[in-house]
């Protein structure tokens, strides 16, 4: 049987090929000029890949992409399709960020056909579409931003990127329900999904990988918003007190692992007598369900009296974490706030707590310890550390929550207010 070489529309059809014939082909990647962005992409932009960048309004998505465009333009023209800002507005932002590369080409257009024509005409090395909600195809009888338009336009743009071998960024707004372009219609079309997170009141931003066909799907990049735009954060101590700084009661330093990257974070807890009614449990950056479990274990297994106390938990810097290794640091911070006893400076606390009060080891202990020791931390409360390495490396490996509290807080009485 002869396979059809060309459809009636004139488009070439793909031909089957044994995968082993591609063994000698090498994957070339285009660097974005920012190591933190390349990390989340798995090493850079793959030709023909489509990257969805999602985030809350005002978090800095356009700022980040303009800076990436300026760096990437060293490899060739970068087409920046702006559907929400005019070219003069884009130039004003470009100049304010101190950017000036002449190969960053702005196209203030929302018509999908016109955008595809310019991609074919310019043959850019990278395309940025900001945002997909503003792009429309007149052939689709629906308003811009609707599910039909978003799905149709994203599929066609993805096809253009893959046929021409040009990497493409697509900006997708977060809806009121916290979903990407209602609801998550784009995530199945694109190759990589990046989420840009951060609170407006904090300077730090986290670029988190949610999906990646060309690398790890759990990496993060760190940035700090300054007067000149976004700056990369390379020090792991960005979200914590230094190893020599005395900690206040209710604070604890932990080492989290986001993908392959260790990150030192300060856990803050405040426990006060409940003023009225049901005690409050409020968290910022900590999973509230996980926090509720830790508090329940503290009451049952460690004897903390929290029944008539309000508990507030926060991760410094406005970041969010889901890793279970945060459990022990949360427990120690709460107990520290209750007793009024501070954790010793230079101490890292990390571990998962079982409902029985037993402590479970965390993954990649050596990587966490190595990174924390590199910046000056010397004491480590890590369940599951090997017996032979404890004395030599400063590791202490408690087996239960009570043992961990005794190592960090001594014999303090664990009652709200230290009473």
Map residue 226 onto helix, strand or coil: strand
Q: Is 238 domain-assigned?
A: no
Q: Is 14 domain-assigned?
A: no
- On whether both 220 and 321 belong to a single domain, the answer is no
**Cα–Cα distance for residue pair 406/184, rounded to 1 Å:** 47
Q: Is 11 domain-assigned?
A: no
- On whether both 306 and 400 belong to a single domain, the answer is yes
Q: Is 125 domain-assigned?
A: yes
Buried (b) or exposed (e) across 193-223, using 16+ Cβ within 10 A?
Answer: bbbbbbbeeebbbbbbbeebebbeebbbbbb
State the DSSP H helix or E strand holding residue 408, giving kind and residue range, or none if neither.
helix 401-409
pLDDT of residue 32: 96
Walk along the chain (419 residues) and give the pLDDT tens digit of each residue: 334 444 444 556 778 888 887 776 667 899 999 999 999 999 999 999 999 999 888 889 999 999 999 999 999 999 999 998 999 999 999 999 999 999 999 999 999 999 999 999 999 999 999 989 899 998 998 888 888 899 999 999 999 999 999 999 999 887 655 454 444 678 889 999 999 988 776 778 889 999 999 988 888 898 988 888 999 987 766 677 778 888 999 999 999 888 778 889 999 999 999 877 889 999 998 999 999 999 999 999 988 989 889 999 999 877 888 889 999 999 999 999 999 999 999 999 999 999 999 999 888 888 888 888 888 899 999 987 654 454 456 788 899 999 999 999 886 555 544 43
Partners of residue 19 on adjacent β-strands: none
State the DSSP H helix or E strand holding residue 315, giving kind and residue range, or none if neither.
strand 309-315
Q: What is the DSSP letter of 352?
A: E
Other CB atoms within a 10 A radius of the CB of residue 52 amount to: 26
- Number of folded domains that form the chain: 2
- On whether both 225 and 260 belong to a single domain, the answer is no
CATH number at residue 104: 3.40.50.300
pLDDT of residue 204: 83
How distant, in Å, are the alpha carbons of 65, 91, 200, 392 from that of 228? 14, 15, 16, 45
- On whether both 221 and 302 belong to a single domain, the answer is no
How distant, in Å, are the alpha carbons of 56, 129, 155, 179 from that of 175? 8, 18, 20, 5
- On whether both 221 and 259 belong to a single domain, the answer is no
For residues 24 and 163, the answer to whether their CB atoms sit within 8 Å is no
Other CB atoms within a 10 A radius of the CB of residue 392 amount to: 7
Domain of 219 in residue numbering reads as: 31-232
Q: Is 72 domain-assigned?
A: yes
pLDDT of residue 412: 58
Map residue 264 onto helix, strand or coil: strand
Between helix 288-302 and helix 401-409 the angle, nearest 10°, is: 90
CATH number at residue 359: 3.30.230.10
Long-range contacts of 289-295 (CB under 8 A, 24+ apart): 290/322, 290/324, 290/326, 290/327, 290/330, 291/330, 293/353, 293/355, 294/327, 294/330, 294/331, 294/334, 294/353, 295/334
- On whether both 370 and 413 belong to a single domain, the answer is yes
- On whether both 92 and 182 belong to a single domain, the answer is yes
- On whether both 203 and 59 belong to a single domain, the answer is yes
């Amino acid at each position: 049987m002869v396979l059809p070489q060309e459809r009636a529309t004139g488009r070439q059809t793909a031909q089957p090929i044994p995968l082993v014939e591609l063994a000698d082909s090498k994957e070339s990647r285009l660097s974005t000029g920012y190591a933190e962005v390349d990390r989340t992409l798995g090493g850079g932009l793959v030709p023909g890949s489509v990257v969805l960048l999602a985030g809350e309004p005002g978090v800095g998505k356009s700022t980040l992409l303009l800076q990436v465009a300026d760096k990437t333009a060293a490899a060739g023209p970068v087409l920046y399709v702006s559907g929400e800002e005019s070219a003069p507005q884009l130039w004003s932002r470009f100049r304010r960020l101190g950017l000036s590369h002449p190969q960053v080409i702005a196209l203030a257009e929302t018509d999908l056909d016109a955008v595809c024509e310019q991609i074919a005409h310019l043959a850019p090395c990278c395309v940025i579409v900001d945002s997909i909600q503003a792009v429309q195809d007149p052939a689709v009888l629906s308003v811009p931003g609707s599910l039909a338009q978003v799905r149709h336009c994203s599929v066609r743009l993805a096809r253009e990127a893959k046929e021409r071998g040009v990497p493409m960024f697509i900006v997708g707004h977060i809806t009121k329900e916290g979903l990407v372009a209602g609801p998550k219609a784009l995530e199945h079309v694109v190759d990589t999904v990046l989420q840009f997170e951060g609170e407006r009141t904090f300077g730090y931003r986290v670029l988190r990988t949610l999906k990646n066909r060309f690398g790890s799907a759990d990496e993060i990049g760190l940035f700090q918003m300054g007067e000149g735009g976004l700056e990369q954060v390379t020090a792991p101590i960005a979200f914590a007190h230094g190893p020599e700084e005395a900690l206040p009661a209710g604070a604890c330093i932990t080492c989290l692992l986001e993908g392959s990257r260790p990150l030192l974070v300060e856990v803050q807890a405040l426990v006060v007598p409940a003023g009225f009614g049901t005690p409050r449990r409020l968290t910022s950056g900590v999973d509230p369900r996980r926090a509720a479990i830790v508090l329940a274990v503290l009451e049952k297994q460690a004897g903390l009296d929290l029944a008539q106390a309000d508990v507030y938990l926060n991760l410094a810097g406005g970041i969010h974490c889901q890793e279970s290794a945060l459990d022990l640091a949360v427990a120690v911070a709460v107990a520290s706030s209750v007793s009024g006893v501070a954790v010793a400076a230079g101490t890292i606390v990390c571990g998962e707590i079982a409902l029985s009060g037993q402590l479970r080891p965390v993954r990649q202990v050596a990587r966490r310890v190595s990174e924390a020791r590199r910046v000056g931390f010397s004491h480590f409360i890590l369940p599951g550390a090997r017996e032979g390495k404890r004395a030599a490396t400063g590791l202490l490996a408690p087996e239960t929550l009570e043992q961990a509290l005794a190592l960090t807080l001594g014999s303090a009485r664990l009652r709200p207010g230290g009473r």
